[in-house]
Amino acid sequence: MKFIAVIRQVPDGESRLKVQGGRVDLSGATLILDQMDEYAVEEALRLKEKHGGEAVVVGFGPERVEEAIRTALAMGMDRGVHVVHEGYADPVAVAEALAPVLREEAPTLVLTGGQQADWDSQALGGALAEALGVPVVAWTTALELEGETARAKHDLDEGAEWVRVRLPAVFTTQQGLNEPRYPTLPGIMKAKKKEIRKVAAQVSPKVALLEETIQEKARLGKILDGKDPVAAAEELVRLLHEEAKVI
Amino acid sequence: MILVVLDHDGNRLRKGSLEALARAYRLQEALGGEVAGVLIGEGLGGVAEEARRYVDLLYTVEAGPYTAERWAKAVLEAAKKGAKAVVAPSSRQSRTYLGRVAFALGAGLLEDTLESWAEGGEVYATRYAYLNRVTQKVKAALPVVLTVKPNTTPPAEPKGEGRVEALPLPPVETVEVLEKIQEEKKGVSLAEADVVVTGGRGMGSAEAFKAIEELAALLGGAVGATRAVVDAGWRPYGEQVGQTGKTVQPTLYIALGVSGAVQHLAGMNKSKYIVAVNKDPEAPIFKHADYGIVGDVHQVLPALIQAVKKLKD
Ligand SMILES: Cc1cc2nc3c(=O)[nH]c(=O)nc-3n(C[C@H](O)[C@H](O)[C@H](O)COP(=O)(O)OP(=O)(O)OC[C@H]3O[C@@H](n4cnc5c(N)ncnc54)[C@H](O)[C@@H]3O)c2cc1C
């Protein structure tokens, strides 16, 4: 059996973002393995621990993405494939670039994050599934293998459902699927020696990124002292009524 | 042809469908051709009568219960008739099955767009990125697939009596639905509420949310929760606001005992006014607040309820 986690590297959400020449400049930001993709790595590891086989991490993006792949290897993944591409690529183009690699690997199943913390895209799972000609289960919160099939629970826009799906299939992650483990020191040492195969991406972009702007809405920041809770509450309600005119 | 995927609840079109239609008509000004709709689901007769009034041509596809594969196939069947653009209301489900559709069409996918327009045979859009912190301007050549963020576009008006054509759903390998888990719905829906009152771990217990329900009801709003609260089992997941929960953009967002983690902010940082109550003056939420009270929520919340009641009298 082979369990693949498709990952990307993104800025830590706590990082300050700045814009240079109409583009977000990540030079000062801390870059991490996308936390939604961490769920994918953890699930691949758990499936391997339970059913045997191999857990492979596939990363897409520029050279620096190797750090995120190493993080996944330090968590316990067996080996990595890095599909190298500089610059913006939309999810359809990413799926096209990953499809030949995934087909060659012939995985039992593929996992990836439910939403990307940089492009805020939720489409990679669906696009990958189409590329591979297999079903997709999005926003998965539980996953069990049963022979040639998997039973999974996943979120819908309203409520949730249990499904059975023939494998291979693509699953996108959701919180609740698992609690990702931290890389251990021996894990980090071992990760240094694990193989990362580099593949040059064949990308034909479908979407061009023209401009990025940061519009953190300027907030009023009127913070009241609540030592006298009744007075503070009355003042707040007055402000909301008279100044903001929202109640 | 510009094809609009019309979302519905089995009886009526959802509001998002009328917004998607309005976007389609905007694209039509530059791209020309007809505006067609596609309705997918089970027993579409009634809703088809409503839907045909908004389009030149309505395709219906009897597809049974939702799966990403069936919905993607149904949209593709209609798109094959010559769609230059596919427009749909943005939802978790649409952003999944349209990933399939965009790949199959080799189309650019513009997700969760705030605005969109066509110029010189290309489609432009703006959308949020980086957990709602950055606005991107993007463009794609035709064919294009785009989803419309809720509450960004004035809804379209009915315009006549479109033709109706039923399309068959080709066989498709998909998932087998074993069991549906319905979400309990009460009061105003979170996504559409004009006021959202959210409690965080600082509320201390599930019981403490009774007061939040009371304040939300007084303001005609909905109750929200942080992940910490959902994980603790105090509130259902359907109320979670944030990256892995719902995105809301009300006029007034009140955060009580919420720290203001980025993943939570991602779901509410575009609210018009943000109010925070937290006992820690250093809590990050205050940096994102228009108004706030540094204090114990167990004292401030009852006082707030009283003050609102007084105002209403
Ligand atoms: C991939 C990923 C996705 C996530 N998605 C989401 C998401 O969708 N939504 C979400 O909310 N989180 C999400 N999180 C979790 C997020 O990082 C935070 O852990 C969470 O938002 C914290 O919730 P909280 O503010 O209620 O709790 P805490 O961080 O524990 O904060 C509690 C606050 O209450 C204050 N407080 C305590 N007692 C009182 C009192 N008596 N009176 C007043 N104030 C008091 C404290 O000062 C503190 O600021 C996600 C995390 C990850 C990794």
SS3 labels along B3-32: EEEECECCCCECHHHHHHHHHHHHHHHHHC
pLDDT band at A16 (very low <50, low <70, confident <90, very high): confident
Closest approach of A106 to chain B, Cα-based (Å): 18
Beta-strand (E) ranges in B163-272?
163-166, 176-181, 195-199, 222-225, 252-256
Per-residue pLDDT of B5-20, as tens digits, reads: 999 999 999 999 999 9
Determine if ligand 1 sits within 6 Å of the CB of residue B245.
yes
Burial class (CB in 10 A: 0-12, 13-18, 19+), A63: exposed
Q: Give me the sign of the Cα torsion angle A158, A162, A164, A170.
A: positive
Give B257 Cα–ligand 1 centroid separation in angstroms. Answer: 8
Q: How far apart are CA B82 and CA B123, in angstroms?
A: 17
What is the percent of chain A with per-residue pLDDT over 70, rounded to a whole number?
100
Q: Contacts of residue B174 in chain A, CB cutoff 8 Å?
A: 135, 165
C-alpha distances in angstroms, A229 versus A123, A235, A239, B219, B293? 47, 10, 15, 20, 9
DSSP state of B82: T
Q: Checking DSSP bridges between strand B195-199 and strand B252-256, what pairing results, if any?
A: parallel
Q: How far apart are CA A91 and CA B112, in angstroms?
A: 14
In this prediction, the residues of chain B whose per-residue pLDDT falls under 50 are none
Q: How high is the pLDDT of residue A102?
A: 98
Q: How far apart are CA B268 and CA B249, in angstroms?
A: 6
Please name the residue whose Cα sits nearest to atom 38 of ligand 1. Answer: B202
Question: Residues 8-47, chain A: which have Cβ within 8 Å of B?
Answer: 11, 13-14, 17, 19, 24, 35-36
pLDDT band at A216 (very low <50, low <70, confident <90, very high): confident
User: Is B134's CB within 8 Å of A237's CB?
Assistant: no
CB A7 within 8 A of CB A57: yes
Burial class (CB in 10 A: 0-12, 13-18, 19+), A14: exposed
Q: How far apart are CA A146 and CA A168, in angstroms?
A: 12
Q: How high is the pLDDT of residue B187?
A: 74
**For residue B150, cis peptide bond before it (omega within 30 degrees of 0):** no
A225–B contact, CB cutoff 8 A: yes
Please name the residue whose Cα sits nearest to atom 11 of ligand 1. Answer: B226
A113–B contact, CB cutoff 8 A: no
Q: How high is the pLDDT of residue B278?
A: 98
Q: Contacts of residue A34 in chain B, CB cutoff 8 Å?
A: none
Q: How far apart are CA A233 and CA B268, in angstroms?
A: 23
B219–A contact, CB cutoff 8 A: yes
Of B182, B269, B272, which is closest to A159 when you measure between CB atoms?
B182
Per-residue pLDDT of A138-189, as tens digits, reads: 999 999 999 999 999 999 998 999 999 999 999 999 999 999 999 999 999 9
Closest approach of B18 to chain A, Cα-based (Å): 18
Interface test with A, best of B172, B173, B293, B301 (most A CBs within 10 A): B293
Q: Taking the CA atoms of chain A, what radius of gyration do you get in angstroms?
A: 21
pLDDT of residue A97 exceeding 90: yes
Per-residue pLDDT of A17-50, as tens digits, reads: 999 999 999 999 999 999 999 999 999 999 999 9
Question: Residues 125-184, chain A: which have Cβ within 8 Å of B?
Answer: 125-127, 129-131, 133-139, 151, 153, 155-166, 169, 172, 174-176
H helices within A15-78, ranges in order? 35-51, 65-75
Q: How high is the pLDDT of residue A196?
A: 98
Beta-strand (E) ranges in chain B?
2-6, 35-41, 57-62, 85-89, 108-119, 122-129, 134-141, 144-148, 163-166, 176-181, 195-199, 222-225, 252-256, 273-278, 291-294
A185–B contact, CB cutoff 8 A: no
Dump the DSSP string for B96-148: HHHHHHHHHHT-EEEEEEEEEEEETTEEEEEEEETTTTEEEEEEEESSEEEEE
Beta-strand (E) ranges in B202-250?
222-225
Q: How far apart are CA B116 and CA B23, in angstroms?
A: 7
Give B47 Cα–ligand 1 centroid separation in angstroms. Answer: 41
Q: Which atom of ligand 1 is nearest to the CA of B258?
A: 25
DSSP β-bridge partners for residue B39: B6, B60
Closest approach of A89 to chain B, Cα-based (Å): 11
CB A240 within 8 A of CB B291: yes
Q: Checking DSSP bridges between strand B35-41 and strand B2-6, what pairing results, if any?
A: parallel
User: Is B175's CB within 8 Å of A247's CB?
Assistant: no
CB atoms near residue B226 (< 10 Å): 30
pLDDT of residue A236 exceeding 90: yes
